[in-house]
Amino acid sequence: MKPAVMSETEETKYGSFLDIDLFSRFFKYAKPYKGWITIAILLLPVSTMAQMAQPLLIKQAVDQHLIPSNLDGFWLLALFFAGLVVMQFFISYLQSIINTMLGQRVVRDIRRDLFSKLTAMDAQFFATNASGRLTNRITNDTEAVSNMVSAGLINLVADILLLFGIAISMAILSPKLSLIAMISLPLILLGTVLITKRMRVVQRQSRVIQAKMAGHLTEQVDGHEVLRLFNCQEQNRNEFNQMNQEYFSTVIKSNFLEAFQFSFVETASVVVVAMLFWYGAGLTPEDGVTVGVMVAFIDYLRRIFSPIRDLSGKFTTMQAAMTALERIFDLLDTPASITSPAKPQLPDRPAASSSHIQFRNLDFDYGKGPVLKNINCQINSGERIAVVGPTGAGKTSLIKLLNRTYDPKHGSIEINGLSVDRYPLEHLRRMVGMVQQETFLFAGTIFENISLHDKKFSQEQIIQAAKDSGAATFIEKLPKQYDSILTERGSNLSAGERQLIGITRMFAFKPEILVMDEATSSVDTISEGLIQNALLQLQKDRTSIIIAHRLSTILNADRILVFAHGEIVEAGSHSELIEKGGIYAKLYALQFNSIQ
């Protein structure tokens, strides 16, 4: 079972090297922290000056004190040199703290926006994007951006500033010797840029494969029971091993490029120093080249090649971050197809305990052929409507349109005379409550799973809702009762207990419209009786829509709508449909005979 991920080229929207568009969008997240950025930038020239001055002090010490054996003023010079070293230490320490704080704050804001984006996306988006790929955006991708800020971006500026500062110092100190460095540096920088450009491509490939692995792993964890039942572990291990090998190959390729870049710069530095000695040996003090100047030049070269070596690592961090930013902004730019209207409305009449529903000329498909065709139906306020039909007839799709999980292709749905696409989305979702075939529970307390972290609910309200649903019977037998911790998906409760928790949510939230989608199909007979009693209580004074395969559960419905091939083919009470002898009568006879 391969995860549904986007194509290999999904992250190629932006350019290939230090994209202005990416950085301009990124800096919008850094803008609120411009005070910290200003401090970090102001520290850069101070740090650069401290490093530029040290070789000059060494030159002076060699030429004026060590070679002529004149120690007058030497210790003052040494003390000044030590002061510069200490100052550089504290500046570097302060820069490191500021960079880390900036990185974590910026990434915190990006994570916030990513999570908000995900919670606002519609069902179609999640149906076409693997969950592992999405979680990868909030975890690994944002971490890559954090590394760029903490260890890359400002330090990269510092390294470039240091390069220019040292180049100027060398030119002033000895124009002739500086020619050696000036000729070699552009070639070294060009080689660095070409290598990092290739690294950008490899980084992109590794991130795409990493997202595939995350999606595959998520599927295996969620579907572990199916894999065991059908003995598919070996096949899935092979698929994961293949992706793991692909990721390993791209990472190794990236490491090789990084190692080559480091070795390239290291070798170039040795060659330049050798050329400096060769050229400097032919110069005299009259040419402005003394022993002190040579020592200072070697120190400058050490300092100038150190940031170039660091640039390779920083460019690697930058390339990883830019690839991550591509993916992050790609997600943030994805529009949600289901949103609240620009000018939302509410019905003129005051809210009641139930609502009137009207389906008009409704057509819908998932892009693979019609699912619902020309649905016209009215559900009166407080009426109990059952929806039956074979699998794939469109029953559940009808409900997904009611609460705008999807929007219809044609036609409209009205609640209390107002089209559902005119309601504020949050208000509409609160109006339509759904008890699904299997209730999804989160890791957390029973109280949190009923209230869904809505702070408007008090402990007393949740307890009353549990008593109304009958869930209090088993909850109050637990050692910590409503503070009992549920494991992921509520696996430490039975199927019936999970359904009662889901029904309790409805009692707490009090929706005007109640939808029950096969609410008792996955529980045992004893639990079904408890759940049916809870559902009957929940249906009182509410407009209710009951989707059911077991026809014995909907015999007392006010009306039954029979779906087939996406259309309403029959409608009426149980007795009317039995008397008619159509599809419903045949379905009922089949179920009745199977029970016999």
Percent with pLDDT over 70 in the chain: 84
Query: Residue 283: pLDDT band by 50, 70, 90 thresholds?
Result: low
Kindly calculate the radius of gyration of the chain based on its CA atoms and give it in whole angstroms: 35
Percent with pLDDT over 90 in the chain: 0
The β-bridge relationship of strands 543-547 and 384-388 is parallel
* Helical packing angle, 291-332 and 175-222, nearest 10°: 30
Contacts of 493 (CB under 8 A, 6+ apart): 441, 486, 501
| Co-location of 473 and 535 in the same domain | yes
Give the residue from 213, 214, 5 showing the smallest Cα distance to 129. Answer: 5
Mean pLDDT over residues 561-569, rounded?
85
Give the residue from 147, 130, 129, 136 showing the smallest Cα distance to 114. Answer: 136
Query: Residue 352: pLDDT band by 50, 70, 90 thresholds?
Result: low
pLDDT per residue as tens digits for the range 65-108: 787 777 777 888 888 888 888 888 888 888 888 888 888 888 88
| Co-location of 320 and 467 in the same domain | no
pLDDT in the model for residue 474: 83
Contacts of 264 (CB under 8 A, 6+ apart): 188, 191, 192, 195
pLDDT per residue as tens digits for the range 123-174: 777 777 767 677 777 777 887 787 777 766 677 777 777 878 877 877 777 7
| Co-location of 472 and 325 in the same domain | no
- Indicate if the pLDDT at residue 312 is higher than 70: no
The answer to whether position 567 is within a domain reads yes
| Co-location of 134 and 80 in the same domain | yes
pLDDT per residue as tens digits for the range 472-504: 888 888 888 878 887 777 677 777 788 888 888
What CATH number corresponds to the domain at position 487? 3.40.50.300
What CATH number corresponds to the domain at position 252? 1.20.1560.10
| Co-location of 458 and 544 in the same domain | yes
| Co-location of 321 and 369 in the same domain | no
| Co-location of 317 and 366 in the same domain | no
The answer to whether position 123 is within a domain reads yes
Give the residue from 316, 35, 29, 20 showing the smallest Cα distance to 156. Answer: 316
Concatenate the DSSP letters of all residues of 71-85 into one string: -TTHHHHHHHHHHHH
Contacts of 367 (CB under 8 A, 6+ apart): none
| Co-location of 327 and 413 in the same domain | no
- 8-state DSSP, 69: T
- Indicate if the pLDDT at residue 284 is higher than 70: no
| Co-location of 482 and 516 in the same domain | yes
pLDDT per residue as tens digits for the range 100-130: 888 888 888 888 888 888 877 877 777 777 6
Q: How many domains does the chain have?
A: 2
Query: Residue 232: pLDDT band by 50, 70, 90 thresholds?
Result: low
Give the residue from 396, 17, 363 showing the smallest Cα distance to 200. Answer: 17
Structural domain of 545 = 357-595
pLDDT in the model for residue 140: 75
| Co-location of 448 and 591 in the same domain | yes
- Indicate if the pLDDT at residue 545 is higher than 50: yes
pLDDT in the model for residue 362: 87
The CA-atom distances, in angstroms, between 62 and each of 39, 58, 176, 291 are 36, 6, 20, 7
Which residue among 269, 299, 332 closes a domain?
A: 332
| Co-location of 538 and 399 in the same domain | yes
